[in-house]
Amino acid sequence: MKKCRITVMRKANYQDLSEMYENPIGHACDMREGQVFLANGWEKPEGMCGSAWESMSPFVMTLAYGGEDIYDGWMKNKKSAMISCNDGFRPVSFLIEALEEDA
């Protein structure tokens, strides 16, 4: 099993949808663009959002165990995936890359 690097690539905020449908909340997301996490397969990296981890963990596991070319040619790097968390108001995009380093 290989380690995977998870990089926060982009954060979006759909204020119009929040105003129409979301109850006000004080704090929603701690992820920062450029932030990097290392995953050892099934272990959620420290500081990673739990909801985001639930969205991406199947992809991390696939790549950690040698899977590649997810969705048949979707990514230029066959040992990577671009995944977003499931927050429809503030989605965060993560680049997941399998590393050569063993977990």
- pLDDT for 21-69, tens place per residue? 999 887 888 999 999 999 997 889 999 999 999 999 999 999 999 999 9
Question: What share of the chain in percent tops pLDDT 70?
Answer: 100
Question: What does the pLDDT read at residue 15?
Answer: 93
Instruction: Identify whether the C-beta of residue 4 lies closer than 8 Å to the C-beta of residue 63.
Output: yes
Instruction: Identify whether the C-beta of residue 5 lies closer than 8 Å to the C-beta of residue 48.
Output: no
Note the pLDDT tens digit of each residue in 58-103.
999 999 999 999 989 899 999 999 999 999 999 999 999 999 988 8
Distance CA 83, CA 56 (A): 6
Average pLDDT of the chain, as a whole number: 94
Q: In this structure, what are the phi and psi dihedrals at residue 97, rounded to the nearest 5 degrees?
A: -130, 130
